[in-house]
Chains A and B, each alone.
Chain A
Amino acid sequence: MDDLAVLDASGIVKTFGAVRALTDANLRVGEGEVVALMGANGAGKSTFVKIITGALRPDAGNVLIRGREARVGNPAEARRSGLVPVYQEPSLIPDLDVGDNLRLGDTPVGPFMDWVRELGVEDVRLADMISDLPLATLRILDLARALASEPDVLLLDEMTAALPTDLVERVLTVVRARANDGMGVIYVSHRFTEISELCDRASVLRDGRTVGDLEIEPGVEERAVELMLGQKLDLSHREGAASRGAASGASRLSVRNLSAGPKLTDVSFDLHPGEVLGVVALEGQGQDELFEVLSGFEKPTGGQVEVNGRPVSFSHPADAIAAGLTFVPGNRAEALLAQRSVRENIALPFAARPRSWGPLKLGRERERVRYAIDKLQIDTRAQGEAQMLSGGNQQKVTIGRWLATGVETLLLFDPTRGIDVRTKRQIYPLARELAESGAAVLFYTSELDEVALACDRAIVIFNGRVVDTIEASDADEQTLMRAAYGLTGTEAVS
């Protein structure tokens, strides 16, 4: 160990139940160094960040700050040992004013105000309530609070996501200047432009393992994408793609200039019967809001949705279901009745409306449930309680619910997240089969290789808008990944 690293995390392992989130994650930040932490969705980035900041305890490995074992275990301790994080969501208390928030973390006021001005925000007073301030200002206050406590290592987790361009520039300049004074910086981001402007190195995480350390130089984007994907794509299983005819006729679902919340700004697309339309996006680009609106959980703030040519507006998921839009969320826990049987889970929509609250039609129910179980090959050995099933089987149950009732338009939100390969291999053909029998499927996935396997074409959403449409035949992972990072396409931003 020649020069002392300000932060050295090595051999970090973390498992959640059966899921190994991190197998061997490493990160070393030298004095005055800015290191980007990169990884595709699900690579274990957020778990790693939580471990570095002390919100989670690792199963193995250790985190050293200036050579000393950081007594991580809670954020306060990590902070005392010299590591200060700025999270994706503001960690200021909404119901306290700025001054009280500073007192809460013992942040010195003078330096804080200096940093706020330095970062280009003028009109903040200590008496301002946090809940009254715009999101961009909060990000700046968070950063200023972090800088004012003079950290050894600063961790910025997607902190530029909600910032306008001019503030992003200020942030990058200030952080760079602090780094030149000797502070170490960990920069977690999806944005290549910022990384190449700010960082010295990039550390890439894939499947819970640190797979590479890249010097930032021209052309590093391509290398990083390659590392995030792992070995080059095997193109052999894409032969089916060509045979898929473009869906024809009137569109089943037509979305025009849809906006919702701060993240979804302007999305338009058409989904036809007989088609599987992929949605590709990095985390938090507005795809969550898109599915929430289409499934009736959230009201859009603008734009229009048409089903079979008729404009619709949903105030409850029941409305969406009545219009034929059925939703399978990515987080199985949201859709599963964990303590109930497989059968009750699948048959749930049958009893939803008051007119079917009477005695159950057990015969019909059994028949439909059996159909769904057979179709999806659900392993029913542990059918007494859905929570005893494997993740893959749980996901099949949540899809099976709609097979039993009949599908017109299926909204699949990352249905293969964290499930085994065999189940994944059953879900793609299922989506295709549904499409061939006349259904329309909207398929968001965080695993890019699935697009070529399951979809006819894919729309790419970046920063709340559709930036590209890619045909299945062109949908290799590199193309998709570059598009998802806003590196290609018609509307590549910043």
Chain B
Amino acid sequence: MTEALRKHAWTMGLLALLVVLLAATKLIQPSFGGPGLESLARAALPFAFATAGMAVVVIVGGIDLSVASMMAVCAVTAATLMERMAGVPAIFIVLAVGLGMGLLNGALIVVTRVPDIVVTLAMLFVWEGVALLILETPGGATADWVEDSIRGPFLFGWLPKAFLIIALVTAAIWIPIRRSKLGLSIYATGSDEMAAFRSGVAVGRTKIAAYGICGLFCGFGGLSLAALTGIGEPVPGPYLLASVAAVVLGGVVLGGGRGGLLGPIIAVFILRIIRTILTLMAVDPNVTTIIEGTIMVAVVMLGTAATLRSARR
């Protein structure tokens, strides 16, 4: 019991912090309610998917610098396709594109033996270029129902649809994997590659699969970008550093093996709500960017320092 509590202590702490921040928001702006939550959840959508994808590759012991670019590719693909065909098949094509990009990243890392950070840096530019090739300037269109699907509340008037989508998609992808042998292999590979190899884990295939899952999440991220803007935007957004920071803040250890997806996603909301609070306090949006950037860099620095300390022990 205490074991379970300790294991989830970090996530619980994050949840408590989120509640405190929400309360603080309510204090600053008494009118903050359903619509505020709704726009918060909507803005968090692409961040949440980028973070979920990043979390999976960090758990397997890698990092994927190309998440934002892959999301851009998926967003322009979605916007271009939806102009021409029905929404549902378009969505499946976009997700397949995301999955394919992720698998290619993973395969390149495993086959070329070039470190993940270098491969995904190069792929960051490749995918960015591909996005520009698909759509040179922002354009295309998304199906109306796709845009509507993330707008507004669900059920009780305060639970935002966007929130529900994040919860459903991550749960539907991650929980079956987490329970399967693949999930175990992902944790095992990130935790101790040698021991995993000795335990009979196919390390290379596990890594490729993890990058594939990351790509799939980026597919959802791209779809949500398209739905948010109604068009396809070929220039990658600021999701890379934000996702790394959320992953670290969410209790996933850089270097792999520890953590889950719930913590990082709560961390996304924490980082988003800090922005909301700063906006409500009438802080210049550019100053908000600086503060946000500083928080993210500080989080990553602390996370790295903590990892080093535990490794030394």
Contacts and interface: CB of A to CB of B under 8 A. Distances in A.
A93 B195 CA distance: 6
B200 interface: yes
Contact of A94 (B4, B198, B257): B257
A91 B195 contact: yes
Contact of A93 (B3, B4, B196, B202): B196
A283 B223 CA distance: 57
Interface in B168-210: 181, 184-185, 187-188, 190-192, 194-202
A96 interface: yes
Contacts of A87: 198
Interface stretch (A74-82, A200-208, A274-282): A74-82
Contacts of B257: 93-95
The B contact surface, by secondary structure, is: helix
A92 interface: yes
A446 interface: no
Contacts of A42: none
Contacts of B201: 76, 104
A127 interface: yes
A76 B203 CA distance: 12
Interface string A32-63: 00000000000000000000000100000000
A101 interface: yes
A284 interface: no
A105 interface: yes
B141 to A, nearest CB: 45
A103 interface: yes
B258 interface: yes
A93 B258 contact: no
Interface in B135-191: 181, 184-185, 187-188, 190-191
Given A95-B190, A95-B257, A104-B188, A90 B195 contact: yes
Contacts of B184: 96, 100, 103-104
A79 B198 CA distance: 10
Nearest to B3: A127
Contact of B181 (A75, A76, A103): A103
Contacts of A91: 194-195, 198-199
Contacts of B4: 127
Contacts of A93: 187-188, 191-192, 195-196, 199, 257
Which of B192, B257, B258 has the most A CB atoms < 10 Å from its CB? B192
Contacts of A127: 3-4
B187 A101 contact: no
Contacts of A95: 187, 190-192, 257-258
Contact of B200 (A89, A92, A104, A128): A104
Contacts of B200: 74-76, 79, 104-105
Q: How large is the interface on B (under 10, 10 to 19, 20 to 34, 35 or more residues)?
A: 20 to 34
A94 B192 contact: yes
Which of B3, B184, B190, B199 has the most A CB atoms < 10 Å from its CB? B199
B190 A104 contact: no
B25 to A, nearest CB: 35
Nearest to A128: B3
A74 B202 CA distance: 9
Nearest to A107: B199
A282 B150 CA distance: 66
The A contact surface, by secondary structure, is: loop
Which of A85, A96, A101 has the most B CB atoms < 10 Å from its CB? A96
A104 B198 contact: no
Nearest to B202: A76
A303 to B, nearest CB: 19
A92 B195 contact: yes
A101 B3 CA distance: 17
Nearest to A87: B198
B86 to A, nearest CB: 42
A104 B188 CA distance: 8
A104 B186 CA distance: 11
Given A94-B257, A95-B258, A105 B190 contact: no
A77 to B, nearest CB: 9
Nearest to A101: B199
A96 B187 contact: yes
B181 A104 contact: yes
A100 B182 CA distance: 12
Nearest to B197: A75
Contacts of A104: 181, 184-185, 188, 196, 199-201
B188 to A, nearest CB: 4
A104 B3 CA distance: 22
A127 B1 CA distance: 10
Which of B181, B200, B202 has the most A CB atoms < 10 Å from its CB? B200
B255 to A, nearest CB: 10
A136 to B, nearest CB: 17
Contacts of B197: 55, 74-75
Contacts of B3: 127-129
Contacts of A89: 195
A105 B258 CA distance: 19
A91 B197 CA distance: 9
B313 to A, nearest CB: 11
Given A74-B200, A76-B202, 8 more contacts: A74-B197, A75-B199, A79-B200, A91-B198, A91-B199, A95-B191, A96-B188, A104-B188
28 contacts: A55-B197, A87-B198, A89-B195, A91-B195, A91-B198, A92-B195, A93-B188, A93-B191, A93-B192, A93-B195, A93-B257, A94-B192, A94-B257, A95-B187, A95-B190, A95-B192, A95-B257, A96-B184, A96-B187, A100-B187, A103-B181, A104-B181, A104-B184, A104-B196, A104-B200, A104-B201, A105-B200, A127-B4
The 9 closest A-B pairs by CB, nearest first: A76-B200, A95-B191, A95-B257, A91-B198, A93-B188, A91-B195, A93-B191, A75-B198, A105-B199
